[in-house]
Structure 1
């Protein structure tokens, strides 16, 4: 965890401790700033964030911040068995590995998780914290955007977003966040919800959101939105708007064991063949599964749908061109039979001339 993030987490915890230790006291922003050794603007920002995120149920009257009578400060109190504690630790590790950007809210959550672990596990706190909380100063900080998304989702608050798709111009839209979903495939977090610009459900990628702010409007999620049904047919998070597509792949005998080790999709079926196995699943969108298919290289052949098959063929042809190889012409796939011409280097002019002379 970099120095700035450590300072931020420490300051927030200090503010929480001040209000915990003196529940009935009223604090001026200036007093908080003096305690932390920061300016009043920064202290005010921290207090507002603690109030907005629910970490401190603060109220402000005039110049004073205080906890209303009967207010309860949220605490993470867990009673965990060793397997449960290790399970949460592994979940935290996975979360840390899938973050491609800085996000102090997740850092704070992981820090609290480490503190809540049973004593035998917590004794390794320094090692665990170092693994969980490692951050790169050069990565983009999406903390403010994540704050808006998280609060909008939990509180059913409408958001105003600026979004920049990969191959289109950025645009602004009002957005109702229905669900936040992590993706190990894309190493990111997606938000699923209703876009008022297109008046339809959309899936947005966290890194492509350039700005996000909470509005004063609330929303009621569409009762027809069934997250479990959408994600059941999704590959990762991309579920598509059309009917699920049947994807059928042939894997060579070299990778059958690896393919069978993992449940890649809830609908998958695997049938062993003479020279490998045939993998079938119903997928809602082909966008995310294509890189996965390509990652198997020559050990995976797309049998259907034709759209995915042609995409992979096009990718292989471009790769051949990049390496100066001559791809074989399109032909009917025969699993188990190697086409020797697929990666054959094209003949040089002098070689072709010598061949003609011999003939």
Structure 2
């Protein structure tokens, strides 16, 4: 029979993980020993011993005026995944690397850690290879640094001052910004930060590759409840949701056969509706705030798609197709 730990030891381990979670959740404000003890149903001296044990295990603790917290930039609490959950994370990281045009070192490290705990067989070999492929991409250390700073600011609800790269119009001015979300986009293989521009008093989206630098400020911000990010993202084909007020219905007609079969095999947008046509073709209809990001999707079908609406998009695609054809005359 295996030598199982005592019931008290199991409780102690579970409490240790709970203390670790409470410290992490407390953020920069921290949490007192009394508050932790009350949550765990034990006395302060027990929690103090747990704190010492976490420090011995290498957990980066911080204490300020009797309030304890974790350094979030150096540590995350332990998370347990089953095989299928770990595979879901691996597939998500693979998707990110396919849509990224540069080396993201943290993605490679994350895949390495997943590979280390996978069965030492086909899965692990492919994960190790995937991490190697990530490292083979071009390195953009400035972009990595901007991403790290925005991640830390977002996690800790800290305002930032950010500068866009200088343009033909002259040097950019710093913006006081509250980062609320980081979003990848397959359109242009890009990463974006979405947040509130304090001086403009408006929501803004910035392409990380166009940011020159980011400075994390000491003041925190409260998440704004007057803006439902996911409602607006539902109106975007990629990241651009337009004005946020108007919705455009884009209607595309596809011919019968394998093209229609391919169109019907995927969900291209959350708002999509597919109409079957008498000839076996179909019409794909989506409702979005702006169609500019949808143009590459339309162009990739070549002669196998016709824009039915809106009329402005139909004219723009027609002119682009004629201009492209002239290159081959």
Structure 1 length normalisation: TM-score? 0.66
| RMSD after superposition | 3.1
Counterparts of 1:69 and 1:231, CA distance in 2: 37
* 1:291 aligns with one of 296, 306, 312: 296
| 2:190 matched residue in structure 1 | 188
1:213 aligns with 2:218: no
The offset of 1:284, in angstroms, is 1.4
Counterparts of 2:310 and 2:91, CA distance in 1: 36
Partner SS state of residue 221, structure 1: coil
The offset of 1:239, in angstroms, is 1.1
Bigger drift between 170-179 and 239-248 goes to: 170-179
* 1:272 aligns with one of 271, 276, 285: 276
Counterparts of 1:270 and 1:208, CA distance in 2: 37
* 1:251 aligns with one of 243, 250, 254: 254
| 2:265 matched residue in structure 1 | 261
| 1:232 matched residue in structure 2 | 234
| 2:135 matched residue in structure 1 | 135
Contact 1:76/1:116 (8 A) holds in 2: no
> Cα gap change, 1:140/1:256 in structure 2, threshold over 3 Å: closer, same or farther?
same
Contact 2:153/2:160 (8 A) holds in 1: yes
> Cα gap change, 1:265/1:218 in structure 2, threshold over 3 Å: closer, same or farther?
same
Q: How does 1:26-175 map to 2 (within 5 A)?
A: 57-59=60-62, 74-81=76-83, 83-117=84-118, 119=119, 124-133=123-132, 134-136=134-136, 138-141=138-141, 142-164=143-165, 171=172, 172-175=174-177
Counterparts of 1:164 and 1:286, CA distance in 2: 26
Deviations for 1:140-194, whole angstroms, at most 9, x for unmatched residues? 2222101111111111111111224988656232221111112223322211111
| 2:327 matched residue in structure 1 | 322
Query: Where does structure 1 lack aligned partners over 5 or more consecutive residues?
Result: 1-19, 26-54, 62-67, 325-359
Contact 1:244/1:282 (8 A) holds in 2: yes
Deviations for 1:245-293, whole angstroms, at most 9, x for unmatched residues? 1111111224100100100111111111134111111111112111111
Structure 2 length normalisation: TM-score? 0.71
Counterparts of 1:71 and 1:158, CA distance in 2: 20
> Cα gap change, 1:131/1:301 in structure 2, threshold over 3 Å: closer, same or farther?
same
The offset of 1:309, in angstroms, is 1.2
> Cα gap change, 1:183/1:266 in structure 2, threshold over 3 Å: closer, same or farther?
same
> Cα gap change, 1:101/1:170 in structure 2, threshold over 3 Å: closer, same or farther?
farther
| 1:4 matched residue in structure 2 | none
Counterparts of 1:265 and 1:298, CA distance in 2: 22
